[in-house]
Amino acid sequence: MAVNKEELKQKILEYATKKAKHKSKMYIKDLYKADPSAKPREIKNAANELVREGKLEFFSSGSTVMYGVPGYGKGVEEAFEEGEE
């Protein structure tokens, strides 16, 4: 189903921000739930655009890439720089 991209981005961002309060990193599949009527590829394209705009951020586990919301949980670099002795 064709979905308005801006609307979809808004839905993803709202969903991710809500979810980030409990779990700061999510898989692309989690974002599918933001709009079950949208196709996975539409979600992927919209989520990637949000990353380019700086509203979402990537986080790598080493082998898989996850999405995070800037400001929630540990950021990409700080996760490795704080609290280590």
Binding-site string for other proteins from residue 1 to residue 30, where x marks contact by CB under 8 A and - marks none:
--------------------------xxx-
Q: Does 64 bind other proteins (CB under 8 A)?
A: yes
In 1-85, alpha helices (H): 5-20, 28-32, 40-52, 78-81
Question: For the chain, how far is it from start to end, CA to CA, in angstroms?
Answer: 51
Candidates 3, 10, 17, 51; binder of other proteins (CB under 8 A) is 51
- Tokens 């586990």 belong to 61
Name the residue nearer to other proteins (CB basis): 11 or 31.
31
Q: What is the dihedral sign for C-alpha 23, 28, 30, 36?
A: positive
Report the alpha-carbon angle 18-22-24, nearest 5: 85
Candidates 5, 6, 7, 40; binder of other proteins (CB under 8 A) is 40
Q: Which residues bind other proteins (CB under 8 A)?
A: 27-29, 39-41, 44-45, 48, 51-52, 58-65, 67, 76-77, 79-80, 84
